[in-house]
Amino acid sequence: MVLSPVIGKLLHKRVVLASASPRRREILSHAGLRFEVVPSRFKEKLDKASFPTPYAYAIETAKQKALEVARRMHQKDLRAPDVVIGADTIVTIGGLILEKPVDKQDAYRMLSRLNGKEHSVFTGVAIVHCCTTDAQLDLEVSEFHEETTVKFSELSEELLWEYIDSGEPMDKAGGYGIQALGGMLVEHVRGDFLNVVGFPLNHFCKKLVELYYPPRREDLQRVKHDSIPAVDTFENLSDVEGSGSDPAQGDDGGGHGRAEAGGDKRQGPAGMQGTDSTGTGESPPPFPAGLLELIDGFKASKALFVACKLNVFDVLKDGAPLKAMDIAGKIDASVCGTERLLDVCVALGLLEKTDRGYRNTELADVHLASDGEYSLHGLAMRSNDHFWNLFTDLELAVREGASAAFGRKAEEPVQSKHKKLQFMRAMHGLAMLTAHQVATAFDLSRFTSACDLGGCTGALARALTQEYPRLKVTVFDLPEVIEHVTCFQPEGRRPDWMSFTPGDFFKDDLPEADLYILSRILHEWPDDKVCELLSRVSSRCGGILVAEKVLEDKPAARGSLPSSLNLLVRTQGRERSLPEYRGLLERHGFRDVRLAHAGDRLDVMLGTRASPP
Ligand X SMILES: Cc1cn([C@H]2C[C@H](O)[C@@H](COP(=O)(O)OP(=O)(O)OP(=O)(O)O)O2)c(=O)[nH]c1=O
What residues line the site for ligand X (CB under 6 A)? 19-21, 23, 39-40, 44, 65, 87-89, 91, 100, 121, 171-174, 176-179, 182, 196-198
- Least distance CB 123 / ligand X (angstroms): 7
- Can you tell me the distance from the alpha carbon of 20 to that of 395, in angstroms, rounded to the nearest whole number? 53
Residue type, 54: P
**Do 415 and 467 form a contact (C-beta atoms < 8 A)?**
no
φ and ψ at residue 75, rounded to 5 degrees: -65, -40
Closest to ligand X by CB, 181 or 414: 181
**Do 433 and 52 form a contact (C-beta atoms < 8 A)?**
yes
- Least distance CB 327 / ligand X (angstroms): 34
**Do 402 and 409 form a contact (C-beta atoms < 8 A)?**
no
**Do 115 and 50 form a contact (C-beta atoms < 8 A)?**
no
**Do 40 and 86 form a contact (C-beta atoms < 8 A)?**
yes
- Least distance CB 148 / ligand X (angstroms): 9
Closest to ligand X by CB, 162 or 252: 162
Residue 408: which of 392, 426, 424 has the closest Cα?
392
Closest to ligand X by CB, 121 or 351: 121
DSSP at 273? B
- Least distance CB 88 / ligand X (angstroms): 4
- Least distance CB 47 / ligand X (angstroms): 16
Closest to ligand X by CB, 123 or 440: 123
Residue 315: which of 371, 378, 376 has the closest Cα?
371
- Count of CB atoms situated within 10 Å of the CB of 313: 27
DSSP helix, strand, coil percent of the chain (3-state; round to 5):
45, 20, 40
Closest to ligand X by CB, 29 or 486: 29
Closest to ligand X by CB, 19 or 422: 19
Residue 223: which of 234, 215, 233, 214 has the closest Cα?
215
Closest to ligand X by CB, 20 or 561: 20
**Active-site annotation holds for 508:** no
Q: Which position among 82, 88, 192, 246 bears the catalytic label?
A: 88
349: Cα within 13 Å, side-chain hemisphere: 9
- Count of CB atoms situated within 10 Å of the CB of 547: 26
Closest to ligand X by CB, 39 or 479: 39
**Do 254 and 241 form a contact (C-beta atoms < 8 A)?**
no
HEC profile of 351-414: EEEECCEEEECHHHHHHCCCCCCCCCHHHHHHHHHHHHHHHCCHHHHHHHCHHHHCCCCCCCCC
Residue 460: which of 547, 397, 385, 535 has the closest Cα?
547
SS3 for 574? coil
- Can you tell me the distance from the alpha carbon of 474 to that of 500, in angstroms, rounded to the nearest whole number? 6
HEC profile of 208-255: HHHHHCCCCHHHHHHCCCCCCCCCCCECCCCCCCCCCCCHHHHHHHHC
Q: Which residues of 247-262 are buried (b: 16+ CB within 10 A; e: fewer)?
A: bbbeeebeeeeebebb
DSSP at 173? G
Residue 65: which of 21, 96, 95, 26 has the closest Cα?
21
- Least distance CB 39 / ligand X (angstroms): 5
- Can you tell me the distance from the alpha carbon of 551 to that of 531, in angstroms, rounded to the nearest whole number? 19
Closest to ligand X by CB, 128 or 451: 128
- Least distance CB 197 / ligand X (angstroms): 5
Closest to ligand X by CB, 121 or 307: 121
Active-site positions? 88
